């Protein structure tokens, strides 16, 4: 097996095919197992980069399955647990040596790849190896692409922030590179040889988030059979990166504030305090000032986190980096997807330079991935790819002026644009969980799927039918 083998444990053949298809698109080699016996047989002769495990299979083994997956003789790497939305998981059902992350079904590809990114970026388990994706060499490669004056200014602030051990708030639109900024701060800081732990505050179900962050004690209060170490303890003496910090529920905002003030906290169900020495980096795409005014985010916590603020500019404000990013992604993914020698058609780069990239670097990266996977150097497979509000191959501004639109057409276009923006914000807020987004927008799930397709928002989301790439987190994403 190659070094990108992934163990996929699920008794449902359809889910196996779905997960395996996504993993293959992302350059992994899935190894299916429909029972714990098959999983252990695979572990006997293969080392896995990470594992995807269905909750029902794990529960069928009285959860000894998850614990045994940590056997040093057959290390599957981090484990991501997949559970039905109505599954009730008490603390003892997700012990510390068990799952590294939990995803609810139906599995949305963006959430899955983001979870994979996060668990691979966490400190390795005893005896494990640091994944190649988080090595210093790749970090330097990515930072070297910051050539614009605005990103050079960001780089200056990063170097200054790395020298002082205080919280940093990283702001910017989704996909601009906030995660890379956080890793750069850690890598340049005195804590660089200590753990760097990433937590997506919106991806973990709220009922489990406190346990994920702060752990839980063994005892009757939590129902836990054993003590569980949370992310803050895992990051002790290192750095913790709280992505989408604006989504923290109020109770956890208070607990985080207490930790920032006194450097200690209590685990769930515990009376004693735990002292930690951890640097906190936080990121958000939200306007936190408005969130504070609306009463959804604590003002005192905002000021604690905002001692140093770094604003990452959108890609449209640093167009000189687009050719560098395109070439970087082509070199990287043509190698990963075994498409060596892939080059763009001569006129494609000019088209890429005209686009505004509402999804920023993430959108550009996924577009390049798709071009490589579909062997489409001329961008012919993306006829709806918009350029500054128009479409590639569409009318020029001059021809558009020659055919002015009626007031009715203008009103209809404005309404569609407003609806598209509202849908995009809801999807972003829910981590592309379409069920939650539909509830947020107060429309049916079927209606939301239609509107996503109609607005072109789903064109970068993967599906087995379309074979399109997903809009997911990568080492360059925020």
Parts of the chain belonging to CATH 3.40.50.2300? 5-129
Architecture of domain 146-313: 3-Layer(aba) Sandwich (3.40)
Question: Which of 3-12, 128-137, 297-306, 419-428 is the least confident region?
Answer: 128-137
Question: Within a 13 Å sphere around the CA of 203, how many CA atoms are in the beta-carbon half?
Answer: 29
Give CATH 3.40.50.300 domain extents, the chain: 146-313
CA distance 306 to 300: 10
Tens-place pLDDT, residues 343-359: 998 888 988 998 889 89
Q: What is the pLDDT of residue 413?
A: 61
Q: State pTM to two decimals.
A: 0.57
pLDDT digits (tens, 9 = 90+) for 368-406: 988 888 888 888 765 455 443 333 333 333 333 334 445
Classify strands 196-200 and 5-9 as parallel, antiparallel or unpaired: unpaired
pLDDT band at 97 (very low <50, low <70, confident <90, very high): very low
**Distance in angstroms (rounded) separating the CA atoms of residues 475 and 179:** 7
DSSP 383: T
Return d(Cα 377, Cα 374) in angstroms, integer.
9
Which of 64-78, 197-211, 243-257, 370-384: highest mean pLDDT?
A: 243-257
Altogether, the residues listed in the chain come to a count of 478
Share above pLDDT 90 across residues of the chain, in percent, rounded to a whole number: 32
Q: At what angle do helices 407-429 and 434-441 cross, to 10 degrees?
A: 130
CA-closest candidate to residue 452, choices 477, 476, 429, 420 = 420
Distance CA 19, CA 30 (A): 8
Of 3.90.245.10, 3.40.50.300, 3.40.190.10, 3.40.50.2300, which CATH number belongs to 5-129? 3.40.50.2300
Find the angle CA(190)-CA(142)-CA(476) to the nearest 5 degrees: 95
Print the SS3 string covering 324-374. HHHHHHHHHHHHHCCCCCCCCCCCHHHHHHHCCCCCHHHHHHHHHHHHHHC
Has residue 25 got a pLDDT over 80?
Answer: yes
Q: At residue 374, what are phi and psi to the nearest 5 degrees?
A: -90, 5
% residues pLDDT > 70 (the chain): 74
Quickly count: other Cβ atoms within 10 Å of residue 67's Cβ.
16
Encoding tokens for residue 73? Answer: 């003789």
pLDDT digits (tens, 9 = 90+) for 36-86: 777 777 776 677 888 898 887 776 554 445 555 544 344 456 888 888 765
| Mean pLDDT for the chain overall | 77
Q: How confident is the model at residue 465 (pLDDT cuts 50, 70, 90)?
A: very low
- Which tokens sit at 391? 């479409």
């Amino acid at each position: 097996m190659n070094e990108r083998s992934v163990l996929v444990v699920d008794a449902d053949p359809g889910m196996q095919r779905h997960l395996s298809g996504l993993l293959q698109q992302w350059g992994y080699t899935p190894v299916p197992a429909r029972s714990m016996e098959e999983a252990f047989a695979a572990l006997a002769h293969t080392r896995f980069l990470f594992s995807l495990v269905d909750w029902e299979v794990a529960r069928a083994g009285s959860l000894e399955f998850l614990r045994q997956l940590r056997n040093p003789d057959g290390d599957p790497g981090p484990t991501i647990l997949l559970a039905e939305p109505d599954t009730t998981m008490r603390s003892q059902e997700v012990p510390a040596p068990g799952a590294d992350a939990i995803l609810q079904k139906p599995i949305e590809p963006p959430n899955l790849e983001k979870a994979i990114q996060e668990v691979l970026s966490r400190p390795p388990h005893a005896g494990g190896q640091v994944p190649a994706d988080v090595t210093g060499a790749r970090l330097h490669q990515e930072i070297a692409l910051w050539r614009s004056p605005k990103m050079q200014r960001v780089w200056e602030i990063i170097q200054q922030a790395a020298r002082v051990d205080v919280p940093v708030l990283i702001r910017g639109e989704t996909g601009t590179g906030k995660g890379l900024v956080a890793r750069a701060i850690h890598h340049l800081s005195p804590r660089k040889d200590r753990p760097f732990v990433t937590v997506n505050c919106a991806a973990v179900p709220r009922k489990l988030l406190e346990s994920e962050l702060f752990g839980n004690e063994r005892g009757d209060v939590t129902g836990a059979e054993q003590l569980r170490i949370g992310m803050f303890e895992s990051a002790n003496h290192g750095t913790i990166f709280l992505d989408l910090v604006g989504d923290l529920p109020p109770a956890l905002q208070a607990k985080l504030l207490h930790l920032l003030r006194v450097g200690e906290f209590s685990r769930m169900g515990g009376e004693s305090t735990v002292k930690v020495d951890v640097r906190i980096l936080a990121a958000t795409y939200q306007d936190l000032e408005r969130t504070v005014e609306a009463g959804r985010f604590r003002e005192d916590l905002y000021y604690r986190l905002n001692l140093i603020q770094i604003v990452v500019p959108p890609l449209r404000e640093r167009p000189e980096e687009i050719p560098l990013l395109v070439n970087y992604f082509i070199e990287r993914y043509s190698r990963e997807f075994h498409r060596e020698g892939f080059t763009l058609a001569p006129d494609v780069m000019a088209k890429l330079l005209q686009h505004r990239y509402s999804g920023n670097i993430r959108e550009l990266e996924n577009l390049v991935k798709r071009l490589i996977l579909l062997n489409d150097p001329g961008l012919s497979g993306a006829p709806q790819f918009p350029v500054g509000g128009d479409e590639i191959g569409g009318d020029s501004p001059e021809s558009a002026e020659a055919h002015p639109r009626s007031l009715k057409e203008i009103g209809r276009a404005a309404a569609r644009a407003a609806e598209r923006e509202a849908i995009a914000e809801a999807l972003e807020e829910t981590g592309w969980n379409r069920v939650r987004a539909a509830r947020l927008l107060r429309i049916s799930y079927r209606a939301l799927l239609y509107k996503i397709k109609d607005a072109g928002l789903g064109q970068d989301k993967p599906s087995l039918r379309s074979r399109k790439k997903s809009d997911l987190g990568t080492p360059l994403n925020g």
